[in-house]
Structures are given as structure tokens and as C-alpha cells.
Structure 1
Amino acid sequence: MRKGIITFVICCFIVNSTFAQSKDQKIIAEIVSTFNNAIIATDSLVLDRLAHNDLSYCHSSGLIQNKAAFIHGVIVGPNFFKSFQLSDETVRITGKDAIVRHIATAQAVNNGKAVEIKFGNLMIWQKNKGQWKLIARQGYKL
């Protein structure tokens, strides 16, 4: 009987740790949503707050931008995002870094023309002084 209880407790712990998101994982998922909403709203203040000063933002086209160029591009275009739908999102915390992967399907306007874009994302968030900042992002074509 005792072995059965111990086995049950161990199984519950394994299942719980496998399926439960940590507090930081939930926070990161919320920050990714806030970040995407700031892109949609062309909110440079939120983007500035969430982006690390040493940001390396790589688009699926191969374009690489620093923080200032990325925020400028969101504000002036030529691409303006109207919505993001994320799927297959994973968040892994490793020390003071968070690795986020997902597939994004976005509705956008590119040079005045409505388009749907589907791409993969790898985002690296870094925690510094209690705040998560995006330090690197790599988009890739599917």
C-alpha cells in the first residue's frame, strides 16, 4: 500500500511539472502578446520598454535591425500588422533567459495591399533587474 501511495505521488509530481507552466513562463507568454499588440497598435513606447537596448531583430526576409531601426520600421512601415494568431507556442526558461518559439499567422498591409503572412519565430527574452526584455528575434519562412 505504501509503495502505491509513493508511486501515485511521484506520478502526480511528474505530470504536474510536465503540464504546469511556471510563473515566468506565463509572464513571458503575456509579454509576447503585449509585444505583438504593440506592433499592431504601432506603440513605440511599449516596444521601447520591452526591447533590450542591444536588440537583434531578424526578419524572415533576412533583414536584420537593431532596436531603433525595428521600432522605426513598425511606426513608418511599409508593413503594418492588423492581427497575429500564434500556434504551437513553447516557452522555456533557462536561468535569466526565456526561449519562445511559435508559428505566427498575421494579417497585414504591405505597401497598401492586404496580405496574410505565415512564419515561424524564435524569440530570446532576457531578465534583468526583474524585467524581461527581448534581446533577439529570428523570423523564418515556412
Structure 2
Amino acid sequence: MIVRNLLIAVAAAALFAGCASQPGMPGPSAQADVAAAAEKLRLAMVDPTGPALNDLTATDLSYGHSGGRVDTQASFISDLLAGNSDFVTIAITDQTIKVVDATTAIVRHTLTADTNDSGKPGKVMIKILAVWQKQGGQWKLLARQAVRV
């Protein structure tokens, strides 16, 4: 009986130590939270407001376009608000989300959109790699790179 209780105590200690040695591991809702943030960003890019875009993007945002241009948070938001980058519709397909740890997630998807950049209608289909970072309890877009399909 004593040996059995000792084995149970050792197993419990090992289990606790294993959990304790992985601080910051994502909870079960982390993937859903990242998906929700990505969806909010999709909606904010179609109907942009400064506060919404500010809340969803990191101050250190690096936003790479498929044509090679790279935006900062300020230029990304400014172009959307001014209509230089105007998404009429955005559809997201083939999305995968990998939550790496409690503060980092990688999102990949295909973006198909109708655009009206600077008053010129167009269509775009690109592959996106996005890195999301949890800052102050909220997932924010930290980095994004697009490539042509």
C-alpha cells in the first residue's frame, strides 16, 4: 500500500512538473481566438475604421504586399482609410492556424478579393502568411507577407 501511494505521488509530481515546465502554452480556445481576430481584420479591411485597424494590428507591423511593397502599421491603415487600398469584398479560403505558444500564431490562407484601389476596379488572388502576436491579452497582426498564386 505504501509503495502504491508512493508511486501515485511520484506520478502526480511528474505530471505537475511537466505542466509547470511549459508555461504559456496556449489554451484550447487560442486557435478560435486567432481565427476571430483574423476575421475581424478581414471585415475591417472591407469597411475600414482607424480604431478597428489600430486594435487589430501591432505597432511594429510589417505588412508585405505581393508586388514587393512593405507597409508599416501607419501606412497600412492610412492606405485603407484613404482608398488607395480599397477592398470591396474579401473571401478567405484554405485557412490554417498554428498556435505556436501563448503569444504567437501563424495563419496561412488564400485571399480572393474585388478591389477598387484609387478608383480602379480589379481582382486579386494571393496566398497570405500572417504572424499574430498576443499583446495585452489581444491578438494583433505583427507580420504579413503575400505572394501571387
Structure 2 length normalisation: TM-score?
A: 0.77
1:129 and 1:76 mapped to 2: Cα distance? 29
> Secondary structure of the equivalent of 1:60?
coil
1:141 matches 2:148: yes
5+ residue gaps, structure 2, are: 1-27
Contact 1:57–1:136 at 8 Å: present in 2 too?
A: yes
1:34 matches 2:35: no
Partner of 2:116: 109
List structure 1 segments (4+ residues) > 3 angstroms apart after TM superposition: none
Which letter maps to 1:76? A
Partner of 1:16: none
Contact 1:106–1:116 at 8 Å: present in 2 too?
A: yes
Contact 2:30–2:99 at 8 Å: present in 1 too?
A: yes
> Secondary structure of the equivalent of 2:74?
helix
Q: Quote the sequence identity (%).
A: 33
Q: Give 1:56's match in structure 2, choosing from 55, 62, 75.
A: 62
Partner of 2:92: 86
Contact 1:50–1:134 at 8 Å: present in 2 too?
A: yes
Q: How many aligned positions are there?
A: 122
Partner of 1:126: 133
1:137 and 1:32 mapped to 2: Cα distance? 12
2:130 and 2:58 mapped to 1: Cα distance? 12
> Secondary structure of the equivalent of 1:79?
coil
Which letter maps to 1:107? D
Q: CA RMSD in A?
A: 1.4
5+ residue gaps, structure 1, are: 1-21
**What's the CA shift for 1:77?**
2.8
> Secondary structure of the equivalent of 1:116?
strand
1:55 and 1:72 mapped to 2: Cα distance? 13
Partner of 2:9: none
> Secondary structure of the equivalent of 1:78?
coil
> Secondary structure of the equivalent of 2:86?
strand
Partner of 1:23: 29
2:117 and 2:138 mapped to 1: Cα distance? 33
Which letter maps to 2:142? I
Contact 1:85–1:104 at 8 Å: present in 2 too?
A: yes
